[in-house]
Every structure is written in structure tokens, then in C-alpha cells.
Amino acid sequence: MAYTLEGRLLEVCNCNIACPCWLGEDPDPGFCYSAEGYRVDNGIVDAVDVAGLTVGVLSHIPGNILAGNHRIMLIVDDNASPEQEQALVDLFTGKKGGPVAELSELWGEVVAIERGRILFDVNKGKGHLEIGAYVEADLAPYLGPTGEPTVWINTPFTSVPGNPAYVAKASLYRHDNPKLGFNLNLKDHNAIQGDFRFEHN
């Protein structure tokens, strides 16, 4: 019942730039329709190696992110073997305990769990995300005067203290999700890429 995972986390949502949820504040419109991708760069769940796979979490967050009751869909990378898929589903639905279970405690309803094609081509807040037929997003980071990306460090939810989260803007955020009951086609809203390290023994 142990895992060690590290990788990149991307959130794209309908908030304005610099999504307040990252500081524990309420979403800008009062609710949030988000798409998150967890790209595992290195990771083992029990004895199953899950490096290179991505899990997508599609959410309707009805209020403050910490108040829970999120309605979500879980999309597992269709490159996963059946064993890898089971390991990731168990992990993200909280069966393995630890920090990932704290995340899934915020979910009030898992509306569906599906396999899907996931394209996670994002680095330092720049790139492209696709999750099944549901989500497509393009993003680029803000830059400082010397061309370095604008970052947040030590936000309340960071799982890797001291590491940057890249503050970006999604030039495209399309999210057509009949199962969660919304259909978005937005320009110039929030995207933030951080990283994660989840460990539990």
C-alpha cells in the first residue's frame, strides 16, 4: 500500500489569471470548471511502475476548493496497461491513502472513470494539453523583463516546497463535458503548471 510519484501538474480553468484556488481563496466566478493533468515523470504504486503516464481529472468545483463536493471525471491514459490502470485508479480514488487520498476526499461524486487518449506536452507553463475528446488547451507563461517565466513559490498547496509553479494564460481552453454538464470554449483564462511529489508508505 505504498507509492512514490513525482511529475508535473497542470490546471486549466475558467478563473481569471492566477486562479485564486492556488491560494485557498474562492474561484473568481464563485465556481470552477477545471481540467487537471497529473503527468507522472517517475513513479511506482505498490510494485507497479507508472512512469510516463498521465491522469486527467475533470471537475466541477461548486465553491471554495477546500469545501469539497467536487463532481469529477477521472480519465486514465490509454497507454496504461490493465495493471497500471488499476494502480492509478486505486491511487486517485483514495484507496492507497496518503496525500492523494486527501485530494480525493474533496470529491463528492466521481461521475465516471474512463480510459482516454491524453496528450500532456507541457513544460514550464508552456505547451498543449488534450484529455480524451473532452479537453483541449494551449498555454504560455507570463514572462518577466529578462524573459524568465513568472512563477509562484510556496503556495499553500505545494507538495514540493521551494519549487516554482508557472503562472500561465491559456490562449485556448475548450472543455466539452456533457457528463458534468458544461461546455466551455474560452480564451485567455487561467493556466498554472506546478509539480508534485506524493509519497506514502
Residues in the site for other proteins, rule: CB under 8 A?
16-18, 20, 23-25, 28, 142-146, 148-159, 161-162, 164, 167
User: What is the DSSP annotation of 141-195?
Assistant: E-B-TTSPBPEEES-TT-SSTT-EEEEEEEEEEEEEETTTTEEEEESSEEEEEEE
Nearer to other proteins, 10 or 53 (CB): 10
Minimum Å distance from CB 124 to other proteins? Answer: 11
Minimum Å distance from CB 81 to other proteins? Answer: 34
Cα 173 to the center of its chain, rounded Å: 14
CA distance linking residue 13 with residue 29, whole number of Å: 11
Nearer to other proteins, 20 or 98 (CB): 20
Among residues 46, 44, 39, 26, the alpha carbon closest in space to that of 75 is found at: 39
As given in the structure block, the three cell numbers for residue 150 are 513568472
Nearer to other proteins, 142 or 182 (CB): 142
Minimum Å distance from CB 160 to other proteins? Answer: 10
Amino acid letter at 148? E
Minimum Å distance from CB 161 to other proteins? Answer: 5
Nearer to other proteins, 134 or 196 (CB): 196
